């Protein structure tokens, strides 16, 4: 072997060693998705408090004991891999607590027949709200809560909530959460500065519900609901950022903003079987660079709404819609794609709509501006 080959082998070993060292160093104390799977001695493992991840034993008392043991300034509670059943909620009542799984254990768990079928096999850190009204209940005025790297599940007949913030929380983060087989995946009331990022919340009636609050972020999530519910609903929220999410069928509506102001809805991919994909009421909201796709479910496209409701329905003032793409596979003649008949100063610019067979692609009032979207004969103006 010549000296050049020897030098190349040394260089390769050095680069591999350097990469491994950098990866280890980057993961030390990091919360990102690449680094779950380890925890340090300063973090409390719930199994040391008696929790057993066997899919049978009620672990609510043990996990709540682990949280109670944390100092007043907070700390980290680790949920290891296993199926941890809850007959009462995990209650968070102090600041700066982190609930950290080692692995969210992504797997289907869809259309199971009973609680025994729901549990295992498989991996991941999993909370199962067997008889609890919520898997995790966050009490009023809690600050700095982080919940990450967990699967949260109910049962086939469950009416429960996965994670419930009951009021006026601040600076909370939900990251890498999987929610399934629940009535509502995440419910947050009157909170500020909350982030829901990199979560998969699907196969349940309602994925996310926000009531009141401000400065809320939902980003890089995959969401999907069922026809009895709404995929994501925000009511009375100021400054919601809904960014780069994938929203799947089969919710009755994909995104409902009820009396919400100053929101940014951008870079999302919405797919639905029913009209009413985006239902918005409020002022000064921006809806930009999204894809809206109505497809399938030919017999039920008008579920709960008439053919003039629109896949986008707007009520409010000074809302702007720029550079959105609408794909409408209508099973009905002359259906409305966009309804903006109430409010003033609403603007639609540079939007692409692929189905122009209807004479009323836009159904708007005289105070609505439609420019560079469709020809004027496709805009129906009501007085």
The CATH number of residue 70's host domain is 2.160.20.10
Angle made by CA atoms 84, 134, 228, in degrees to the nearest 5: 115
The CA distance from 200 to 303, in Å, is 25
Q: Tell whether 9 and 90 lie within a shared domain.
A: no
Lowest mean pLDDT among 28-32, 169-173, 245-249: 28-32
pLDDT value of residue 227? 85
Burial of 95 (0-12, 13-18, 19+ CB in 10 A): middle
Residue 122 pLDDT > 90: no
pLDDT value of residue 262? 99
Q: Tell whether 234 and 88 lie within a shared domain.
A: yes
pLDDT tens digit sequence for 48-71: 999 999 999 999 999 999 999 999
Structure tokens at 207: 């994925």
Structural domains in the chain (count):
2
Cβ 154 vs Cβ 177: under 8 Å = no
The CA distance from 273 to 250, in Å, is 7
Mean pLDDT, all residues of the chain: 86
pLDDT value of residue 334? 87
Q: Tell whether 247 and 339 lie within a shared domain.
A: yes
Q: Tell whether 21 and 61 lie within a shared domain.
A: no
Q: Average pLDDT in the 122-144 region?
A: 91
35: left (phi over 0), alpha (psi -120 to 50) or beta: alpha
Lowest mean pLDDT among 5-14, 84-93, 192-201, 267-276: 5-14
Give me the domain span that covers residue 9.
1-30
Its pTM stands at 0.85
Q: Tell whether 138 and 286 lie within a shared domain.
A: yes
Lowest mean pLDDT among 118-122, 182-186, 315-319: 118-122
Q: Tell whether 4 and 153 lie within a shared domain.
A: no
Q: Tell whether 87 and 10 lie within a shared domain.
A: no
Q: Tell whether 245 and 311 lie within a shared domain.
A: yes
The CA distance from 255 to 63, in Å, is 34
Q: Tell whether 241 and 216 lie within a shared domain.
A: yes
Note if the bond before 121 is cis, omega within 30 degrees.
yes
Q: Tell whether 371 and 271 lie within a shared domain.
A: yes
What is the C-alpha end-to-end distance of the chain, expressed in Å?
87
pLDDT tens digit sequence for 183-196: 999 999 999 999 99
Q: Tell whether 98 and 16 lie within a shared domain.
A: no
Place of tokens 């009542």: 93
Cβ-based neighbour number of residue 307 at 10 Å = 17
Cβ 197 vs Cβ 173: under 8 Å = yes
Cβ 362 vs Cβ 378: under 8 Å = yes
Residue 131 pLDDT > 80: yes
pLDDT value of residue 34? 31
pLDDT band at 99 (very low <50, low <70, confident <90, very high): very high
Q: Tell whether 179 and 90 lie within a shared domain.
A: yes
């Amino acid at each position: 072997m010549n000296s050049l080959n020897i030098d190349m082998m040394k260089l390769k070993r050095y680069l591999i060693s350097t990469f491994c060292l950098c990866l280890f160093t980057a993961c030390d104390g990091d919360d990102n998705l690449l680094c779950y799977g380890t925890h340090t001695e300063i973090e409390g493992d719930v199994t040391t408090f008696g929790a057993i991840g066997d899919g049978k034993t009620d672990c609510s008392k043990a996990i709540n004991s682990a949280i109670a043991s944390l100092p007043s300034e907070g700390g980290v509670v680790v949920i290891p891999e296993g199926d941890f059943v809850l007959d009462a909620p995990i209650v968070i009542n102090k600041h700066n607590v982190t609930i950290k799984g080692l692995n969210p254990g992504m797997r289907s768990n869809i259309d199971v027949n009973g609680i025994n079928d729901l549990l295992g096999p498989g991996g991941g850190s999993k909370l199962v709200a067997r008889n609890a009204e919520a898997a995790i209940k966050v009490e009023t005025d809690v600050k700095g809560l982080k919940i990450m790297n967990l699967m949260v599940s109910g049962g086939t007949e469950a009416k429960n909530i996965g994670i419930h913030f009951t009021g006026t929380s601040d600076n909370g983060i939900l990251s890498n959460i999987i929610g399934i087989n629940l009535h509502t995946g995440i419910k947050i009331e009157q909170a500020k500065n909350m982030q829901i990022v990199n979560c998969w919340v699907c196969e349940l009636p309602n994925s996310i519900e926000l009531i009141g609050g401000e400065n809320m972020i939902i980003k890089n999530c995959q969401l999907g609901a069922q026809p009895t519910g709404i995929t994501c609903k925000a009511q009375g929220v100021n400054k919601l950022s809904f960014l780069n999410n994938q929203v799947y069928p089969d919710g009755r509506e994909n995104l409902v903003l009820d009396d919400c102001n100053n929101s940014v809805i951008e870079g999302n991919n919405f797919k639905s079987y029913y009209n009413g994909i985006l239902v918005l009421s409020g002022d000064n909201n921006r809806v930009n660079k999204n894809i809206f796709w109505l497809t399938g479910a030919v017999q039920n496209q008008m579920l709960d709404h008439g053919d003039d409701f629109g896949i986008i329905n707007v009520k409010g003032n000074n809302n702007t819609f720029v550079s959105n793409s609408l794909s409408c596979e209508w099973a009905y003649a002359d259906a409305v794609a966009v309804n903006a008949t109430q409010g003033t100063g609403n603007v639609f610019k540079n939007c692409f709509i692929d189905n122009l067979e209807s004479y009323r692609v836009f159904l708007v009032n005289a105070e609505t501006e439609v420019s560079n979207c469709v020809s004027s004969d496709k805009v129906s103006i009501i007085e």
